[in-house]
Chain A
Amino acid sequence: MSVTSPAEREELNRLLIQTGRNDQKAFAELYKRTSSKLFGVCLRMLRDRSEAEEVLQETYTTVWRRAAGFDAAKASAITWLITLSRNKAIDRLRQHREELMDDPSKLEQTVDDQPTPAAGAETSQEYGRLQHCLDALEPQQRDSVREAFFTGATYNELATRSKVPLGTMKSWIRRSLMQLRVCLEQ
């Protein structure tokens, strides 16, 4: 299912706006079109199917309750939805953080194993621009930004995984973010 074509994005915006008006059919259709994308996002971060399904469930119950606050002028529906699922998944990860820190073997397991775009994943124009700007970063720093985005790891966790001091990881990521901003604004 593609959520990247402009026509599909428009349709998702419409469905989310309708959902905000308590339109249950629109909500069901929105779920049908977006749940596998959002589940992919949750699964990539949580790496546990049942936990990802719980977060997915929470995400959509929140969508139903908060859809009235969606403003298509500020963000597209798919960005709004992915952001919501990411936030819920990251919150869940933070709840587990202590448990993970107690067991370094688990930390190792959470290292992202999909460093390149999934085969067949459809990408948007915006993705192309971001990719171009990411390519301009130092390889190690680019990898850290990607790892952070896909796994939802904290600075501490990233530093542990990459075996660099916390301060180094922070400056890598911060420098990368500033470079990305400049590059994307060109």
Chain B
Amino acid sequence: MNTPADEGNDNLRYAEYVLGVLDADARAAVAQEVQTTDEAAAAVALWQRRLMPLSDEIASVTPGAYVWVRIHDDLQLDVPVAATRTQPSKGLWNNLPLWHWLGIGASALAVALLVVIALPHRETAPAVTASAGYMVSTIQQDNGVTGWTATMDLDRARMVVVPAAPVALASGRAPELWLIPQGGKPISVGMITRDAPTTITLDSSLLAKLGPTALLAVSVEPIGGSPTGQPTGAVIAKGSISGSPDAHDHVVRVATTFNGMGDGRSV
């Protein structure tokens, strides 16, 4: 039978457990007790009620959208993965300084793989399984400054075009992206913007023409695109297309880079 002094000690142990100061062994011992005796469970619950209100002080921070995707995949849920997405990828997609930093400071491949990590998708980790599935292009202006970086995700038939440095355009004009196969005529890929990432779905005929012999180019066109189906304004930037043979190594590095950047706090 417990003496009052023992009870006091036990009670303190439960308090220490809830506060979180016990080392691994002592913690495990209390956790075990909680599972097996009602007294321990009740004492721990009481201390949780006493101390847990302190967590009111902790500011909420929005986690990356991919966390839910991973949980969803782990548990093989049937509910649509978008069920929780109130503000899709807010912290990342709308982080213009981040995109600019990446566009200027990082290789196109790094941007490519960041995009792959950041975009929620249904497949479970690792994020990149077939490294042959991506192509990238650094689209440079004539002065050598990178205007945009383009990432082609062949498996998902999409391209993400990210502006690096803002490009000056006359009012009423917009940048249009073209694919130029070797020895062929430019094919319109779509309208892009000077200040935000654009995701473009690629049809199969475009997909088939992507490769190291093709070029991407940006021309200045009326808002809404070239009226003729061919570039009508000046070509202001272009770049060749390359694959990403060592994508998997990069994905880890880029993930680390990203995780170290802005913490997306929200209160």
Please give the residue numbers on chain A whose beta carbons come within 8 Å of chain B beta carbons, in ascending order.
Answer: 1, 4, 24-25, 27-29, 31-32, 35-37, 39-41, 43-44, 48-50, 52-53, 56-57, 60-61, 64, 74-75, 79, 82-83, 86-87, 90-91, 94-95, 97, 114, 116-124, 126-127, 129-130, 145-146, 148-150, 152-156, 158, 173-174, 177-178, 180-181, 184
Contacts and interface: CB of A to CB of B under 8 A. Distances in A.
Given A41-B55, A57-B74, A90 B79 contact: no
Interface in B12-29: 12, 15-16, 18-24, 27
A149 to B, nearest CB: 5
A108 B16 CA distance: 23
A43 B54 contact: no
Contacts of A118: 57-59, 267
Contact of A57 (B12, B60, B67, B266): B67
A149 B54 contact: yes
B63 A120 contact: no
Given A87-B31, A181-B11, 12 more contacts: A24-B79, A36-B266, A64-B75, A83-B48, A118-B267, A119-B267, A120-B267, A122-B56, A127-B53, A153-B20, A154-B21, A180-B50
B48 A152 contact: no
B51 to A, nearest CB: 7
B86 A32 contact: yes
Interface residues of B, number: 51
B75 A174 contact: no
B52 interface: yes
Interface of B: 8, 11-12, 15-16, 18-24, 27, 31, 45, 48-64, 67-68, 70-71, 74-75, 77-79, 83-84, 86, 255-256, 259-260, 263, 266-267
A contact face: mostly helix, strand, loop, or mixed: helix
A177 B56 contact: no
Nearest to B68: A31
Given A31-B71, A155-B21, A120 B84 contact: no
